[in-house]
Amino acid sequence: MNYHEAKDKFIQTWGTLGSSWGISRTMAQVHALLLISPEPLSTEDVMEQLKISRGNANMNLRDLLDWGLAFKELKSGERKDFFVAEKDIWKVAKQIIKERRKREIEPVLNVLEELKNVKGDKNDKRHKAFVESVTNIERVVEKADFAFDKAVKLDENAIVSALFKLFK
Amino acid sequence: MNYHEAKDKFIQTWGTLGSSWGISRTMAQVHALLLISPEPLSTEDVMEQLKISRGNANMNLRDLLDWGLAFKELKSGERKDFFVAEKDIWKVAKQIIKERRKREIEPVLNVLEELKNVKGDKNDKRHKAFVESVTNIERVVEKADFAFDKAVKLDENAIVSALFKLFK
DNA sequence: TTTAACTTTCAATAATTATTGAAAGTTTTA
DNA sequence: TAAAACTTTCAATAATTATTGAAAGTTAAA
């Protein structure tokens, strides 16, 4: 496998992984491309290399900025925007967790809290099962949320070694 | 909010959460329905309550069995299959992590390993950046994989309290 | 200003993914 | 064995999501 084949395969693989972890396929591909580029890339570079349209490139680059996974870099003498990826993959992972916590877990916790206040006959089996389910789920979601919150504030090795000690 | 509104809202919410964590919307909705049902449900019950077709209900119930998130329960005297959800949400979370690890992380690790062997000029900047990126990414993905692997073998409180101690 | 370089938007369209429902398949009972 | 009860499959279609590209918008140099 030569450099170009490897690069392609990497972009595809990262795209697939990304899309299964909540960031869109193309966004992950753009991120992959930036990740392995030693130099900052312009929108046009991204368009050419990934063979995507200007609109698409623009939109995904902006999303990457939104997620904190890429940054603008201005070159003196150039009017174009150039982009670089966050290259510390542990930071990338933490950033994704942080964003998804905010975008997905928080709203769910709000709904669960609301649902516990459902009115109904306390002797109704369905009602009882419902409140019980919601309460259990809320408890676990809160704990997971707590764990993620802590995880994004810690460094990689601390977490891994803590889990390792627990397990030994 | 009465019981039926609450139930609907729960099913919708769980569906949304599920779809953002890698299990399909309808599959998560079926799971939600089973979760709050005190009695096992048949395919027909699921069809009626979620207003989905027989094929769809069947497919999603089978997927839930595949993922280990629901189980068949046979009622004596009945020919139909009945289904119950795994109600321990921590087990559900672990099961999802386990499945996704197998389905998504493992293949990526294999590709990354392969990509490190790319042939090329060691003095080429791009080549060097490429191998470096892949190596870093592999390291982090492996650690995340390790952490998840440990997580699915531990109980909820152990993990949370370990993280808590680390953070205090 | 005006013009050129560049970025953003968005309606149209393409690609992907989920759903339907009828037909085929299977198992159980009589 | 036949018929009934139930499950599974899958081609057609619907719903959703991503992408295009031309036009509108912005910024900076001349």
Q: Which among A17, A125, A147 has CB closest to B159?
A: A147
| CA B5 to mean position of chain CA atoms | 26
d(CA A54, CA A43): 7
Can you give the three-state secondary structure of chain A, one letter per residue?
CCHHHHHHHHHHHHHHHHHHCCCCHHHHHHHHHHHHCCCCEEHHHHHHHHCCCHHHHHHHHHHHHHHCCEEEEECCCCCCEEEEECCCHHHHHHHHHHHHHHHHHHHHHHHHHHHCCCCCCCCCHHHHHHHHHHHHHHHHHHHHHHHHHHHCCCCHHHHHHHHHHHHC
The pLDDT, as a whole number, for residue B71 is: 97
What is the least distance, in Å, from the CA of A7 to any CA of chain B?
A: 8
Of the candidates B61, A16, B102, which has an alpha carbon nearest to the alpha carbon of residue A31?
A16
Of residues A3, A20, A160, nearest to B120 (C-beta): A3
pLDDT band at B126 (very low <50, low <70, confident <90, very high): confident
Question: Hey, what are A67's tokens?
Answer: 């997620």
Percent of chain A scoring above 90 in pLDDT: 67
Q: How many CB atoms lie within 10 A of CB A77?
A: 5
Residues in chain B closer than 8 A to A115 (CB atoms): 1, 6, 9-10, 13
Report the nearest residue to nucleotide C22, CA vs C1': B55
How much is the pLDDT for B115? 95
- Residue B168 above 70 pLDDT? no
pLDDT at B125: 84
Percent of chain B with pLDDT over 70: 99
pLDDT band (50, 70, 90) for residue B156: confident
pLDDT tens figures, B47-94: 999 999 999 999 999 999 999 999 999 999 899 999 999 999 999 999
Cα–Cα distances (Å) from B85 to A48, B92, B109, B128, in that order, read 49, 9, 32, 50
Output the CA angle A34-A39-A44, nearest 5 degrees.
65
Average pLDDT (B112-128) is 89
Burial class (CB in 10 A: 0-12, 13-18, 19+), A125: exposed
Q: Do B118 and A2 touch (CB under 8 A)?
A: yes
> Which whole number is the average pLDDT over B38-51?
97
pLDDT tens digits for B131-140?
998 999 999 9
C-alpha–C-alpha distance, residues A96 and B128, integer Å: 26
- Touching check for B122 and chain A: CB below 8 Å? no
Name the residue with tokens 């993620």. Answer: A148
Instruction: Sort strands B70-74 and B41-42 into parallel, antiparallel or unpaired.
Output: unpaired
Residue B167 has pLDDT above 80, yes or no: no
CA–CA separation, B165 and B130 (whole Å): 38
**How far is B13 from B10, CA to CA, in rounded Å?**
5
Nucleotide closest to residue A44 (CA–C1'):
C6
Does A113 lie at the interface with B, CB-CB under 8 angstroms? Answer: no
The pLDDT of residue A141: 92
- State yes or no: pLDDT of B32 exceeds 80: yes
A79 CB contact with strand D at below 7 Å? yes
pLDDT at residue B68 in the model = 95
Cβ A1–B150 below 8 Å, yes or no? no
Instruction: Write out the two tokens for B148.
Output: 């998840």
Checking if the pLDDT of B99 tops 70, the result is: yes
Assess whether pLDDT exceeds 80 at residue B12. Answer: yes
pLDDT at B104 > cutoff 80: yes
Confidence tier at B120 by pLDDT (50, 70, 90): confident
Residues of chain A contacting B95 with CB distance shorter than 8 Å: none
Handedness of CA B151, B72, B23, A141 (dihedral sign): negative
Binned at pLDDT 50, 70 and 90, residue B165 comes out as confident
* Amino acid (1-letter code) at residue A126: R
- For chain B, give every domain's residue range: 3-85, 89-167
Instruction: Split chain A (168 residues) into runs of 10 and give each run's mean pLDDT.
Output: 92 91 93 95 97 98 96 94 95 91 91 92 87 93 90 87 80
Is any Cβ of chain B less than 8 angstroms from the Cβ of A161? no
Which residue among A20, A93, A141 sits closest to B144, beta carbon to beta carbon?
Answer: A93
Is A162's CB within 8 Å of B164's CB? no
Pick the CATH number of B3-85 from 1.25.40.80, 1.10.10.10, 2.60.40.420, 3.40.640.10: 1.10.10.10
